[in-house]
Structure 1
Amino acid sequence: MSTSSAVSGIQPFRIEIPQADLDYLHDRLAHARWPGDAPGGEWTRGVPLPYLKELAEYWRTRYDWRAQEAELNRYPQFTTEIDGQRIHFLHVRSEQPGAKPLLITHGFPSSVAEFTHLIEPLVDPAEGQAFHVVAPSLPGYAFSTPLSGPGWAMGRTARAWAELMRRLGYERYGVHGGDVGAGVSGMVGGLDGEHVIGVHVVTDPLTAANVATFIPGMADRLDANDPVDKLILDRMDDFAKEGSGYLAIQNSRPQTIGYGLVDSPLLQLAWIAEKVHEWTDLPVDRDQLLTTVSLYWFTGSGASAAHTLYEQAHSSEWGAPSAVPQGFAVFGADDTVRRLVPAPADAHWTEFRRGRHFPAMEAPAELAADLRAFFEPLK
């Protein structure tokens, strides 16, 4: 970290959840009230009862928060205040010569715990480009709480990220993200192009189709007689009818769902576990999943994260075009993504057949390799 960090209001941070909070979580899980199982017991109506019971019991009796807390605390962590908002971030510097600063941003429903298997291959690779990794918690997520007020959509976050990198003394840096983090990363590239060397994002066919449902006139641009366009239209329709409920309520009534997310560990567990199940096709480490759920629970950030989704849904700011080099890593790739993602002709483009929405958890080695391949030639 630069010598200017102390005067920039950056403070060291360490995760230390009180034992009373752990005891309370275990007690709530032990005395949970359960509904009956859904007819048929399948995922079509939500998380099946047997699945959640088993996962909740593991969370209560076998999951070791203290071990996961110690694992996160291996990485240097800090907090600072930017634009009135407390920002928590990991800052892991590489000892390898020629390491490049890299700002990585998680999405929803995620946290910096998503990157615990990605950071070391970036900071200390066996070969190729190394990075100094900066991984902030989005405003309203985990320890970047409480929210200071309204307005924390992606544009304001991107401006905060540019300021964070300035405070850390990085004059040239790369950015990477997925989901909400992809949007924020693209905006950082657009507003701070003087300092950003490149923007790298991850996506997958279902995420691309889901995002397309919010683009005005997108359905009219697609030809139902074309097989690829028809697949996109079907996915958009399926998301609108069956998959968008979680987003609809957070985009419209974040405070209402927030009461349940903050008060019920079962709801917070189901809220995240459902999306990880639906949006992955490679195994995700169960302890890593529960670490993110625990971060939401201990910080009460289920509600504040929902409010940031509301802010974005009601924002008219979607960022200026970025002139910096762009890279795309498409997981679970098929022919639809090229039609949905507005990538420049000279963009770095890599397709992976497996993995989906959370590649940092599903396929961290492949993602790290693609980040090295994209950023290594950029000066």
Structure 2
Amino acid sequence: MKNVTEFKVSVPQPVLDDLKNRLQNTRWPGEAEGSGWHFGTSQAYLKDLVGYWLDQYDWQKQEAQLNKYPQYIADVNGVKVHFQYIKGKTEDAKPLILTHGWPDSYYRFHKIIALLTEGDQSFDLIIPSIPGFGFSEKIAMPSEAVADLWTVLMTENLGYEKFYAAGGDVGMSVVKALASKYPEVVAGVHFTDVGYPMGQEDPGTMTENETQFAQFVQQWWYSEGAYAMVHATKPQSIAYGLNDSPVGLAAWILSFGNAGAPYEIIEEAFGGKDELLTNIMIYWTTQTIATSARMYKADAMMQWSGAPPLQKTNVPAGVALFPREAQFPREWAERFVNVVSFKKMEAGGHFAALEVPHVFAEELQSFFYSIS
């Protein structure tokens, strides 16, 4: 490995003491009677979660779990990139980089590490934190620039001639850019979503299924898309409150972390209270909620700049559509990537690696080993 140093998560006790003090002194805003989750994050639910956070959640235990697998910091074109690196047990293990999204983190993939590194169809897993998220450098970059970094990380820092890539949410944009810009080194890509209609498509070129999908997405943006509009236009305005209040941070993440699922299964989507809070803690202890939100602005500014759109390439792409994800048709995916496998899954949602890890791991193995 080149320009790489070992890393362990170690949060100073004063940071944890300060967190406890802020949680204990929360000024609760109240909520409209009977509003539940319809106005945003339920105060009743959040109070219960904060009580658990204060009295039962064990950060030291979770920190030890975060340090279970080898982690590193790489200097990639002058940017500090945090990543987990776990070698597969077989000699022909395939190098696979997994890219998370928002409001999750590299922790999205912790349940599938053993599943993908210890079997007969194993991978060398590289699981980085996007710059501006978690333990990587606190700098916001557009998705295409992140793809540039990932290519250098894989080929120069780690020395792979070719590699595979998978991602969802923000990670989807990064992986699409990898396939488009670097087809000579990217051997295959996998997605759980492929982007959404934004009103720029020519209606005359859209199938009936695509039109129905576009109508659904338009309604979804009106009802659930506030976070993306705020991140893409005024990320600094919300950064002050979210970086100052752990309850405010938790409320913001919870409000949009359901990703279309019924609100009562938020914990299931993240894997339980401990895993939900560990994801929030990664943002809180690194103070990266501002830069993570700012990535949306970076992507929007690149789009508004008139930069040419990414071109579709021949890199083989697998797509797994989970039932609690927006139900896009195959032809929509084929607009952007070379779809050689399109599967509708029976369970899971936006955070499939957390919700149904065995199903997700088997899908990655099945696809990437089928195109070798």
Same fold (TM over 0.5): yes
CA contact (8 A) 2:224 2:256 kept: no
In the TM superposition, 1:221-300 aligns within 5 A as 228=209, 231-280=212-261, 283=268, 284-300=271-287
Aligned residue in 2 for 1:358:
351
Q: Distance in 1 between matches of 2:206 and 2:368?
A: 34
SS of structure 2 residue aligned to 1:242: helix
User: Among residues 42, 45, 54, which one is paired with 1:60 in the alignment?
Assistant: 54
Q: Deviations over 1:73-110 (max 9, x none)?
A: 01100012223321100001122232111000001111
Gaps of 5+ in 1: none
Conserved in 2, the CA contact under 8 Å of 1:175 and 1:198? yes
Report the Cα offset of residue 218 of structure 1.
Answer: 5.7
After TM superposition, give the deviation of residue 122 of structure 1 in Å: 0.5
How many residue pairs were aligned?
359
1:170 equivalent to 2:160? Answer: yes
Shift in CA distance, 339/43, structure 1 to aligned 2, threshold 3 Å: farther
| 2:313 alignment partner in structure 1 | 322
Q: Take 1:92 and 1:56, find their aligned partners in 2: how far apart are those partners? A: 34
| 2:34 counterpart of 1:43 | no
Change in 2 beyond 3 A, CA 1:233/1:324: closer
Given candidates 288, 302, 318, the residue that maps to 1:301 is 288
The answer on whether the counterparts of 2:143 and 2:174 sit within 8 Å (CA) in structure 1 is yes
Report matched runs for 1:10-49 at 5 Å.
10-49=4-43
2:143 counterpart of 1:154: yes
Q: Is the 8 A contact 1:145 1:299 kept in 2?
A: no
TM-score w.r.t. structure 1 length?
Answer: 0.89
SS of equivalent to 1:118: helix
Secondary structure of the structure 1 residue equivalent to 2:75: strand
CA RMSD, 1 decimal: 2.1
The alpha carbon displacement at 1:361 in A equals: 0.7
Deviations 1:307-350 (A, max 9, x none): 11110111135433222111111100786432432266751111
Aligned pairs for 1:66-85 within 5 A: 66-85=60-79
**Matched position secondary structure for 2:296:** helix
Structure 1 residue aligned with 2:183: 193
CA deviations on 1:246-297 (whole Å, 9 max, x unpaired) are 1111111111111111111011101111222244466232211111100000
CA contact (8 A) 1:350 1:370 kept: no
Unaligned runs of 5+ in 2: none
Take 1:353 and 1:300, find their aligned partners in 2: how far apart are those partners?
A: 37
Deviation, 1:190, is 2.0
C-alpha distance in 2 between matches for 1:116 and 1:296: 16
TM-score w.r.t. structure 2 length? 0.90
Residues 1:323 and 1:37: Cα distance change in structure 2 (over 3 Å):
same
| CA distance in 2: counterparts of 1:157 and 1:294, whole angstroms | 23
Deviates more, 1:155-164 or 1:57-66: 57-66
